[in-house]
């Protein structure tokens, strides 16, 4: 059994408003790399979410039900402070486009400056999932369209 300090713990931060099949795919593909993945919802007082925090957390819990390596948490403030508190040395992010890459590169460098032991692991979106974003899903919901196929099957009925 690995002790806390030897465990490979990654934080996957985001708004998950709501979680999509793109997010779920990144977590699933990252599972073999880590002992634990904390899907962490950053609570931002300025950025207004469509869905309440508890609802977003519940959906993520449902999606990863039975997957003991995945934990769901929320945090306020800087992501690196949360990582330090959780003894997580890895930050996981998904890349859909070159715009994502440029953004993630800047953030990864800043995070590394603030917390040198943090290593950002970027996983490329699968081509067929790379157009899916929570923003698009929210737009479709606002327009009263169907989003079932963009959210994981285990929670799709909540979007009917
Ligand atoms: P944020 O509010 O920080 O942008 P999101 O909840 O939108 O957070 O996304 C969290 C992470 O998931 C980000 O790294 C984002 O690039 C990644 N992501 C979002 N959608 C997809 C997708 N379709 N495929 C791969 N990664 C994705």
Mean pLDDT, rounded, for 116-128: 98
Residue whose C-alpha is closest to residue 34's, from 11, 8, 13, 12: 8
% residues pLDDT > 90 (the chain): 93
- Tell me if residue 138 is catalytic: no
74: Cβ contacts below 8 Å, ≥ 6 apart: 40, 41, 42, 43, 53, 57
Cβ–ligand 1 contact at 134 (below 6 Å): yes
Active-site choice (7, 28, 71, 96): 96
User: What φ, ψ does residue 44 adopt, rounded to 5°?
Assistant: -120, 120
With bands split at pLDDT 50, 70 and 90, how would you rate the model's confidence at 51? very high
């Amino acid at each position: 059994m690995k002790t806390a300090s030897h465990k490979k713990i990654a934080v996957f931060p985001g708004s998950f408003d709501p979680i999509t099949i793109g997010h779920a795919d990144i977590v699933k593909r990252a599972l073999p790399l880590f002992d634990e993945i904390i899907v962490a919802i950053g609570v931002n007082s300025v950025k207004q979410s469509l869905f309440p925090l508890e609802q977003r957390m519940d959906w993520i819990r449902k999606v990863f039900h039975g997957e003991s390596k995945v934990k769901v948490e929320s945090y306020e403030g800087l992501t690196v402070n949360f990582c330090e508190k959780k003894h997580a040395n890895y930050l996981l992010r998904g890349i859909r486009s070159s715009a994502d890459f440029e953004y993630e590169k800047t953030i990864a460098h800043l995070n590394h400056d603030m917390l040198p032991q943090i290593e950002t692991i970027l996983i490329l979106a699968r081509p067929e999932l790379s157009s899916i974003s929570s923003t698009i899903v929210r737009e479709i919901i606002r327009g009263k369209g169907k989003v079932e196929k963009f959210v994981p099957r285990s929670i799709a009925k909540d979007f009917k």
